[in-house]
Amino acid sequence: MTKIPYISAREAVRAVRSGDHVHLSSVASVPQILIEALAERSSELEDVHFHHFHTEGDAPYAEGGPFFDQGFFVGPNVRKNVQEGLADYIPVNLYETQSMYRTGALACDVAMVQVSEPENGMVSLGTSVDCSLAALDVARERIAVVNPNVPFALGNLVPLERFTALVQDSRPLITKEYASPSETDLQIGRICAELVPDGACLQMGIGAMPNAICAALKGHKHLGLHTEMFSDGALALIKSGVIDGENKAIDKGKVVASFLLGSQEVYSFIDHNPQVQMLDIAYTNDPRVIAQNPGMVSINSAIEIDLTGQVCADSIGTRIYSGTGGQLDFVRGAKLSRGGKAIIALASRTTKGMAKIVPTLKPGAGVVTPRADVQWVVTEFGAVNLYGKSLQERARLLAGIAHPQDREALERAAFERFGR
């Protein structure tokens, strides 16, 4: 085995050339030391493109100049720059991000990832596997930041000798504390939990509402978890034994995910834990894989939904707010699962009092889940199943779970549009 010496971050990023496309590991495990070193080279470079999932922390790669960010998801740290045209967004279902690299549809010249300390010549991608394995498959330069704070998570090990450069850093991974669920979140959580049978396999996101759903599931039994990401709410269910994976058809007894964002407790939990498999997005988000677990229940949110069932989850009108993410991957996977359910859960109104069930989406709004794919929709006022329902039926059902002060206007809009 060839021993690769550690070098400084400044030396490592000399491998980046003008015109290169650079992949970054994401979320809590962004290789900040490499980003900082690359920013120091900004006067020497031109037209360097960056690709990544949602990232946390400073993002000088999204501030224009010689760098142009083209993320697969838009987080708060790059949102303003995307909306101002200094950075950009690549619309893509997360499952397909890896195939973009592997097929050459999107160039990847340099892969910059953060990894655990080596064991027996292998390192782990820890909390952020995402599409980094695909990037390592195709990149010309493969730079690893070896960090003792990255957990040695199983399922994604990479030989240390596969990298062309190694850098050391010891800064902690970024943690995230989510707001406490509101009463609306808690009510939505209770309604969603009623749709989840014992023995189901779950997918949900992170944040106050998913945490509220997890809290409402604490009385359930033998749940599984196959998801793109999880956080502290799901961890509580795992530790209490509610999530044990006993009923899963694949990865039985194991928690499957691709990236994490939460407390240090979450990161520590996956370290050397055989119960957890952190895997390539090519596996976690493949609808054909998702569908193999019986009783698959996907729970995702939305910015707004129209009376026909079109779900906008990535933009506010023409302004990109987040991204497609894995919503449609899991909606389709859950619907293909035997006994599965796909749930879109949202508050009836925003915190500013704006309706989220609307006659039509805002002009330019992105349809993340088409109306033909939508099944269950949940607000704090109830749950409706749109599967097999006509446009007129959908409009009546959705108006019935809208905010009471919005129902009359929705019913009027439905009558004007559909005639009854």
- Residues 122-132, mean pLDDT to the nearest whole number: 98
- 409, containing H or E segment: helix 404-418
Q: Which sign does the torsion angle of CA 267, 271, 273, 275 carry?
A: positive
What burial letters (b/e) apply to 400-410, b meaning 16+ CB within 10 Å? ebbbeebbeeb
**For the chain, how many residues are written?**
420
Nearest of 88, 69, 64 to residue 26 by alpha carbon: 69
CB 226 within 8 A of CB 284: yes
Rg (CA), the chain: 22
Q: Is the pLDDT of residue 1 over 70?
A: no
* Residue 390, C-beta contacts closer than 8 angstroms, at least 6 positions apart: none
* Residue 325, C-beta contacts closer than 8 angstroms, at least 6 positions apart: 73, 93, 94, 205, 228, 300, 313, 314, 368
Alpha-helical segments (H) within 170-286: 183-194, 208-216, 232-240, 264-270, 281-284
CB 294 within 8 A of CB 251: no
- Residues 277-293, mean pLDDT to the nearest whole number: 98
Q: Which sign does the torsion angle of CA 335, 336, 337, 339 carry?
A: positive
Quote the pLDDT of residue 179: 85
CA distance 67 to 359: 40
Quote the pLDDT of residue 2: 57
Quote the pLDDT of residue 149: 98
CB 406 within 8 A of CB 381: no
CB 146 within 8 A of CB 118: yes
Nearest of 164, 153, 170, 203 to residue 329 by alpha carbon: 203
210, two tokens: 């998913």
CA distance 364 to 346: 20
- Residues 289-308, mean pLDDT to the nearest whole number: 98
pLDDT tens by residue, 192-235: 999 999 999 999 988 889 999 999 999 999 999 999 999 999 99
pLDDT tens by residue, 346-396: 999 999 999 999 999 999 999 999 999 999 999 999 999 999 999 999 999
* Residue 102, C-beta contacts closer than 8 angstroms, at least 6 positions apart: 134, 137, 138
CA distance 83 to 192: 33
CA distance 344 to 369: 9
CA distance 255 to 231: 12
The partner residues of 382 in beta bridges, in order of sequence, read 379
- 82, containing H or E segment: helix 76-83
pLDDT tens by residue, 54-76: 999 999 999 999 999 999 999 99
Q: Which residues does the annotation mark as catalytic? A: 228
DSSP conformational letter for 323: -
Question: Regarding beta strands 341-345 and 296-300, do their DSSP bridges make them parallel or antiparallel, or are they unpaired?
Answer: parallel
Nearest of 28, 60, 34 to residue 265 by alpha carbon: 28
